[in-house]
Amino acid sequence: MILINVLGLLLIALIIWWFWLYKPGDSSVSVTNVSEANISGGDIVITVENGIYQPSRLKVSAGQPTTLTFLRKDASPCAATVIFPDSELSEELPLNKAKAVVLPPMPPGEHPFTCQMQMYRGTLVVN
Ligand SMILES: [Cu+2]
């Protein structure tokens, strides 16, 4: 009886660890400096790999169309779509092939972009 309780507690601890504490490829840890890029140069390529967009924070200019170039290296189908909710836009990203996504002009502010299940997350900083 006690053994079963202990096993149950261990299982609960494992589940808590798995879902709340273990974060593979958490972008907030290592990429703070290189993850922010200014897109106005036009030649930034956003790599889709290991659960993060790299860079994941992009500065773009307000009031003009923006072209983002994505390069998907993650073969999982979830990474295949990038969604820009504020622009009501979604694009398919081919594997290992650069894909340019043209965004309409956006109002100033922070506009997120994600994959289908929101595991990949990025932010457009428009100003
Ligand atoms: Cu996803």
Taking the domains of the chain in order of start, what are their residue ranges?
Answer: 27-126
| 65 or 39, which is more confident | 65
Cα distance between residue 38 and residue 24, in whole Å: 26
Under the banding of pLDDT at 50, 70 and 90, the label for residue 44 is confident
CA 8 / ligand 1 centre spacing (Å) = 31
CA 116 / ligand 1 centre spacing (Å) = 5
Cβ-contact 101, 58 below 8 angstroms: no
Cβ-contact 71, 96 below 8 angstroms: yes
CA 113 / ligand 1 centre spacing (Å) = 11
Cα distance between residue 56 and residue 71, in whole Å: 13
Please check the confidence at residue 28 and state whether its pLDDT lies above 60.
Answer: no
CA 52 / ligand 1 centre spacing (Å) = 10
Say which CATH architecture domain 27-126 belongs to.
Sandwich (2.60)
Under the banding of pLDDT at 50, 70 and 90, the label for residue 3 is low
CA 80 / ligand 1 centre spacing (Å) = 8
